[in-house]
A = this chain, B = another copy of it.
Amino acid sequence: MREKITSIHNQRVKDWKKLQTKKGRKKSHTYLLDGWHLVLEASHSQQKLLTLIGVADELDRHADIVALFDQVFEVTPAIMKDIVDSETPQGIAAVVELPNDHELPADRLHGAWLFLDRIQDPGNVGTMVRTADAAGFRGVVASDQTADFFNPKVVRSMQGSQFHLDLVAGDLKKWIADFKAAGLPVYGSELNPQAKNFRDVTPGPDFALIMGNEGHGMDQSLLQETTDNLYIPMPGQAESLNVAVSAGILMFQLNQG
């Protein structure tokens, strides 16, 4: 059943727009996927599919995917642009359920985890999740002031990796304490030659790596709790690396699969 919406003032359109904010996502416990690539990834995963929204052309073109949804809405291109927070809307979007934070697996200390300490830029958060996925990490834990995983800009740069690993909002102090209590290493990262050269570290399969804020680096109180702090020796003149680039270099060193 395909329902048609032509007015931008329709209540559903207003509700979908609210998914651009954290408050709106929390209240409805849903978020928005923009584009066929993500909708397809979702359909291949355990993700519960709720509502498909598309312009007529796109819905006509993919009857097989449309059939996976109980609720399908046809909207105008102008409404589509209004709903998704994108310069280049793809004409198709889906409302899906947020993962449930309270269902942390009991064996959560197994595998490699990335901890994000107040990472502000949504593009950086999304790129780090995507990289953690590629590097075979188990999950990513975001501290309080880290950009929300289901912010539309983060979702865009994750490119579907949210369907492959555990994304958790959590208290990093507690996570660090849990890892250390289990005898597992927690690595900090900082621009400090007194830290350990990242090339000299070869952990087992279970560990955590912390990346810190773009401008200020890691929280000092977390830094003190780590097993080791790693730095990337830089033979050149640049003062620092982009945090997502550093995270990539460190993750592919620590987890060689």
Contact = CB atoms under 8 A, between A and B. Distances in A.
Nearest to A241: B134
Given A135-B235, A255-B235, A242 B244 contact: yes
Nearest to A123: B123
12 contacts: A127-B245, A130-B241, A135-B234, A136-B234, A136-B235, A164-B237, A165-B236, A235-B255, A242-B248, A244-B245, A248-B249, A249-B252
B127 A236 contact: no
B236 A135 contact: yes
Nearest to A246: B248
Number of chain copies forming the complex = 2
Contact of A248 (B135, B199, B241, B257): B241
Interface string A118-151: 0000010001001111111100000000000000
A161 interface: yes
A242 to B, nearest CB: 5
B238 A130 contact: yes
Nearest to A130: B238
Nearest to A164: B237
Interface of A: 123, 127, 130-137, 157, 159-161, 164-165, 199, 232-242, 244-249, 252, 255-257
Interface centre among A127, A157, A237, A256 (most CB of B within 10 A): A237
B123 A236 contact: no
Contacts of A242: 127, 130-131, 157, 244, 248
Given A136-B234, A136-B235, 8 more contacts: A127-B245, A130-B241, A134-B236, A159-B238, A161-B237, A161-B238, A233-B256, A248-B249
Contacts of A133: 236-238
Nearest to A37: B239
A93 B239 CA distance: 21
A257 B235 contact: yes
Contacts of A165: 236
